[in-house]
Amino acid sequence: MNSQQLPIQQTAGNIALVVGATGIAGSNLAIKLLENGWTVFGLSRNPKNDIEGLQPIAADLLNSESLVSALSEIAPTHVFFTTWMRNDTEEENIRVNSAMIRNLLDALSPKKSIKHVSLVTGLKHYLGPFDAYANSGTLPETPLREEQPRLNLPNFYYAQEDEVYKAAARDGFTWNIHRPHTLIGKTIGNAMNMGTTLAVYASICKHEGTPFIWPGSDAQWNGISDVTDAKILADQIIWSAINPEAHNQAFNITNGDVFRWKWLWPKIAEWFQIEYEGYNGTIKPLEIVLNQKQAVWKEIKEQHQLIEGDLSQLASAWHTDLDLGRPLEVMTDMSGSRKLGFAGYKDTKDSFFELFAQLRNDQIIP
């Protein structure tokens, strides 16, 4: 099931609304849906027209009138919610991100067209909000399992889920929640983009002749980890949406393999033909490094005729630092979907290398 097409007869007549179609998860999902015969609308604040066949919709999820107007001629059978908005506090995250889902499903409710809603969240369901587990000193038990209860902490993922559950009870649709680990895939201007962030960092190291220095913790360097290829996430989302036995469940989703960063980091350095340094007792936040490299990236952009000279549009070092700086190893159990027949798998090394090759081919990195 590695990026293969699903039977067309299972998807004919389905109308998808992909919310967040410009992000890593949404864009890869939209492409996969189109390949499998769906009619696909992509909703975002600033739509792009770079996916052939995708019908873009511009709307503000925090503006109910904007949504009603933008969706007036659209009656989706399936809604795929793949976006979120970062705020300064978790309380504000809860208020804003729950409102986005509530406003969308309220706008669509009178149409009575929705059969299924899929929501993409993540492993903060188990770990808590950004940095919460590090500050509290309470670390969750791994591997992270789908049946683990909610934490007694404010978490906007829980608020998002609750909006889906309430609307499902009101309107009679089925649902799935998908919890990927760090997403690896191509997009520009995304708030959580480790693959491209590391590619940009490695390109700067090569340009300056400096080593590719591990920015994170001892636990992450030596511990077991996993990640989620955006294409594997798309496979699971579609699989669960069209298989009734998978409905009304939450699923973890990763590539299906595990690795240690002390194994993968040298391989990434080798791909870029640069030297590397591993963990040596100190966390070295990547955000501090890249915040000083805008002028360098502009020089690289001009030298290699790249398409994006704004480093902040490519790298999300703050998020990479949070992932790689965790004080524990993080791995994910996928028993829920595996027991029901989902067999998607991706070699993690291939996820990174295929992304790097695509970024180079698209003139995003040299």
158 assigned to active site: no
Q: Single out the catalytic residue among 126, 133, 157, 201.
A: 157
Name the one residue in this structure whose structure tokens are 């998002």.
Answer: 160
Q: Single out the catalytic residue among 124, 206, 231, 293.
A: 124
Which residue, 145, 118, 157, is CA-closest to 239? 118
The one-letter code for the residue type at 354 is: E
201 assigned to active site: no
Which residues are tagged catalytic?
124, 157
